[in-house]
């Protein structure tokens, strides 16, 4: 089974996807970490923002490895170098949308993600999992939440790392990210027609995880259903 979870920044995709995979005994692939790793390499090579069209070759040559880690963010390696913390830094966050919108970069990483999906029993999360990477996924979820709630979650994450940022600033950054991701020419952020939308604004992580696990268990034994009767708000 393939479970594809998409949605905008701060909707809770990574946390939810990791827990769903754990409960269902499936693998978890953090595709966002892959784009962040390439962005880190591009920054170090001085290719962004002016020479982003050269990042595709760098992506094709990069030896990426994403290792699942229980109760934590995925461990990410470029060759033997671990970059798990570096890819979560503010500079990478500032440029990852630009890099991930590059057609050559997306072509390289989409192929790698499809190879992982082809192995089966995996939870994929990102922005184009159900529309581009794995349109054949048995379960497609589109997680969302209000901009204000997503900003509050991001603020809490930053505070846990000792970084102070105003809620107003984070709201503006998330709105800009949403607009960019939704309007880019290649693999824009959008809900797949047969995806179940879950608004997590007023839901706990446990409630969201259980809703997805329940749906996955149903899909293992039942024919694919229409989204009209399954959408959660």
Q: What is the pLDDT of residues 18-69, one digit of tens each?
A: 999 999 999 999 898 999 999 999 999 999 999 999 999 999 999 999 887 7
In a domain, 232, yes or no: no
In a domain, 192, yes or no: yes
| Preceding peptide of 24 cis, ω within 30° | no
Q: For residue 60, give the CATH number of its domain.
A: 3.40.50.300
Res 233 pLDDT > 80: no
27, part of any domain: yes
Average pLDDT estimate for 192-203: 96
In terms of residue numbers, what domain contains 33? 2-209
Residue 142 within any structural domain of the chain: yes
Nearest to 187 by CA among 100, 122, 118, 120: 100
pTM to 2 decimal places: 0.85
Give a yes or no: residue 228 inside a domain.
no
pLDDT at residue 225 is higher than 80: no
CA–CA separation, 228 and 233 (whole Å): 12
| DSSP conformational letter for 227 | G
Structure confidence by residue, pLDDT tens digits, 161-190: 788 889 999 999 999 989 988 988 888 899
Can you list the positions of beta strands (E) in the chain? 2-6, 27-30, 64-67, 75-78, 81-82, 122-126, 139-144, 196-199
Please give the tally of structural domains in the chain.
1
Phi and psi angles of residue 43, each rounded to the nearest 5 degrees, phi first? -65, -45
């Amino acid at each position: 089974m393939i479970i594809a979870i998409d949605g905008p920044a701060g909707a809770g995709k990574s946390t939810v996807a990791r827990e769903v995979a754990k409960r269902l005994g499936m693998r978890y692939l953090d595709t966002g970490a892959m784009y962040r790793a390439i962005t880190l390499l591009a920054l170090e090579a001085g290719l962004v923002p002016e020479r982003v069209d050269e990042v595709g070759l760098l992506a094709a040559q990069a030896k990426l490895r994403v290792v699942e880690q229980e109760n934590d963010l995925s461990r990410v390696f470029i060759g033997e170098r671990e970059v798990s913390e570096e890819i979560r830094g503010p500079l990478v966050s500032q440029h990852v949308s630009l890099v991930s919108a590059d057609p050559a970069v997306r072509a390289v990483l989409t192929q790698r993600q499809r190879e992982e999906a082809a192995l089966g029993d995996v939870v994929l999360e990102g922005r184009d999992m159900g529309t581009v990477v794995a349109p054949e996924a048995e379960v497609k979820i589109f997680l969302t939440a209000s901009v204000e709630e997503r900003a509050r979650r991001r603020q809490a994450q930053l505070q846990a790392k000792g970084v102070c940022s105003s809620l107003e600033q984070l709201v503006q950054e998330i709105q800009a990210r949403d607009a960019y991701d939704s309007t880019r020419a290649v693999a824009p952020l959008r809900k797949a027609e047969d995806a179940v939308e879950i608004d997590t604004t007023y839901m706990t992580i446990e409630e969201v995880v259980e809703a997805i696990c329940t749906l996955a268990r149903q899909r293992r034994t039942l024919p694919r259903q229409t989204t009209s009767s399954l959408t959660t708000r």
